[in-house]
Amino acid sequence: MKNDKKGLNTICTHIGELEDKEYKGAVSPLYMSTSYQFEDVAVKRYPRYFNTPNQEALSKKLAALEHAEAAMIFGSGMAAISTALMTFLQAGDHVVLQQTIYGGTYHFAVSQFERFGIEYSFTTGWEVEDFEKEIKPNTKVLYLETPSNPLLTITDVKGVANLAKKKGILSMIDNTFASPVNQNPIDFGIDVVVHSATKYMGGHSDICAGVVAASEEHMKKVWQTGICFGGSLSDYTVWLLERSLKTMVLRVKAQNENAMKMAKYLSESKDVDNVYYPGLEKHPGYALAKSQMKGFGGMLSFELNPEIDASLFFKELKLIKPSMSLAGIESTVLSPTQTSHALMSAEDRAKQGIKDSLIRFSLGIEEVEDLIADIEQAIAKVKSMTVTA
C-alpha cells in the first residue's frame, strides 16, 4: 500500500502491515524464525540483516511516518544513534554535536570517538551560528536534537539543514522528544533522522528499540554498518512495536494536550521556580517551535523552589511514577542528574544548565486534574516535613 497523501492514523494503522493470507487475521502475522531458506529465494533473510518479514514490513511504516525513502529498526535508541554516527564518521573526521543532547549520546561521543580517531566539538548553544562556529575542514556531520533532553531547547531544524548542505556536510537529528506526530525533520532538509522507539513509538513502557530513517542511498550505508554491529531487534518486539504504532497519533496528541495544561499550571504555581516547555509563549524557542512543530510535545521540565526537596517530592507522589524512561501512557518524573545525564560530569551538566533540582516530566494520558492533585498533595507533604523538622 502506498502512503501518498494518507493521514497519520492511516499510516500508523495500515502502511507496512503483513497480510495473513492463510487465516485472514486483522493484524500482521508474527514470523519468529531466525533461519530462512537460501536457495531459490529472492531475498536471503536473517535477523541480523534487518530483513525478516516483520522487520521489513515495520521499516516501511517507519519510513512513511518520517517522510523518508527507507528506515531500519534497531535494538535500542543508542544502537540506532551509534550505528548512524559510525556509518558516516571515520578516523580523521570531525563531528559537531549540539550542546544540549541526550546524556547517552553525550557519553558515547566523549567515551568512544577518541579511540576511533574521530574528533568532536560541542556547540556552546543551540543556534545555527553555534554550529557554524564549530565547523572545521574535516567536519562530516552536524548532530542536533530538538526539543532537547532534558531542557527542551529548540533548534532551527531548517537552518541547520541548510548550513550542512551549504558546507557539504551530513545533517543528523534525534527526533525522539518530538515524535513523527509533531515534527518531520526530513521535510526541512535533514539527511538522517534517529529515534529511541522505546519512547513515543512504543508508548507503553514495555519495548526497547531504535530507528534510523533517511534516503535509500544513506540507508544502504547504515545497513552495511548495522549488520556488522549486530544491533537488530527480535521479531516479537518488532511485532509489538507495530501494534503500539497503531495508536501513536492518538496517544501523542493526548500527551501534547496534557503537557500544555501542566506547563501552564506549573508556571503559575508559587512552589515552582522554572518551567521549560516550548508551548509556553515565554519560552525563548516558542515562535521557532510553532513554526517547525505540529504540536509542542508531551515532555517538560521544571524546578521546584529550593526549600522543597525534590527527592522527598518523588517519594510522596501517589499517581505519577518516578521512573527511568519517558513517553509511556502513564505520567512519569525523574531527576536527570541521577538518571539520563548521570554519566555526564557535574561540570558539564552545569554548562548545559542541568541543575540537581531539575525534574523531567513525561505526561501520560491520565486526566490532568488528577495529576495536578497528586503534585499538590506531594508538595504539601514535603512542606509539612520541612516545618516539622
CB 338, CB 212: distance < 8 Å:
no
Does the annotation count 199 as an active-site position?
yes
CB neighbourhood size of 26 (10 A): 6
Q: Which three cell numbers stand for residue 18?
A: 503483513
Distance CA 343, CA 190 (A): 28
Question: Which of these is catalytic: 93, 156, 174, 191?
Answer: 174
Distance CA 245, CA 14 (A): 10
What are the Cα distances from residue 61, in Å, to 41, 65, 257? 24, 6, 25
Backbone angles phi, psi at 186, to 5 degrees: -60, -30
Selection from 289, 218, 293, 296 nearest residue 261 by Cα: 296
Q: Which three cell numbers stand for residue 236?
A: 516479537
Does the annotation count 206 as an active-site position?
no
Does the annotation count 93 as an active-site position?
no
**E strand residue ranges, the chain:** 70-74, 94-97, 119-122, 139-145, 170-174, 192-196, 210-214, 272-276, 299-304, 321-322, 332-334, 358-362
Backbone angles phi, psi at 35, to 5 degrees: -140, 125
Does the annotation count 48 as an active-site position?
yes
Question: Which of these is catalytic: 199, 253, 349, 360?
Answer: 199
Distance CA 215, CA 213 (A): 7
Question: Which of these is catalytic: 6, 48, 60, 290?
Answer: 48
Distance CA 265, CA 133 (A): 38
For residue 322, is the peptide bond before it cis, meaning its omega torsion is within 30 degrees of 0?
A: no
CB 131, CB 106: distance < 8 Å:
no
CB 60, CB 73: distance < 8 Å:
no
Question: Which of these is catalytic: 31, 102, 276, 277?
Answer: 102
Distance CA 70, CA 67 (A): 9
Q: What is the DSSP string of 271-332?
A: TEEEEE-TTSTTSTTHHHHHHH-SS--SEEEEEE-TTS-HHHHHHH-SSSEE-S---SSS-E
Distance CA 296, CA 286 (A): 9
Distance of CA 270 to the CA centre of its chain: 31
Which residues are the active-site residues?
A: 48, 102, 174, 199
